[in-house]
Amino acid sequence: MTHEVHKVVKESGGLRIVIADSATSVSEDNKNDIVVDGSHCGANIAPDYILPSGARGMIGNDAGIGLENAGVASLKTLEEHGIPAAAVAAMSAEIGVGQSTYDEGVISAANELAKKMGVTVGMSAKEAADKMLEGIS
């Protein structure tokens, strides 16, 4: 697990939107957070980091999506556990830099739970995080 101080960008009703460079730094301290990070959304991210933390939503990087949607595999896993999740296009934000994901990222994929909250392809990551926060509150 990576040690990293997360930046809180918004708080509402006991929930927060936080920015992290790496999903590996997400921990129990992020319970009830919407995590916006610079990591890929590959298959290991959901079970190894997001689910154990108790985070309530996630936005990461699609890492170019890849073969058989490998870069966004965690979106489906998170949906199966009731967690909205989305990914930004790799060319819209610098991978590994959470602030870039939040400030510059453009949503390229979202799970059905995120879509039901109003998250759409082409939307900014910042707006998508706000939609998740509103949808969970």
pLDDT tens digits along 66-103: 999 999 999 999 999 999 999 999 999 999 999 999 99
State mean pLDDT over 43-55.
96
- Model's pTM, two decimal places? 0.95
Output the average pLDDT for the chain: 95
Order across the sheet with 33-40: list the strands.
7-12, 15-20, 33-40, 57-61, 85-88, 107-110
Position 98 scores a pLDDT of: 97
β-partners of residue 85 are 58
Q: Which of 65, 79, 85 is nearest to 23 (CA)?
A: 85
Looking at residue 33, what DSSP letter applies?
A: E
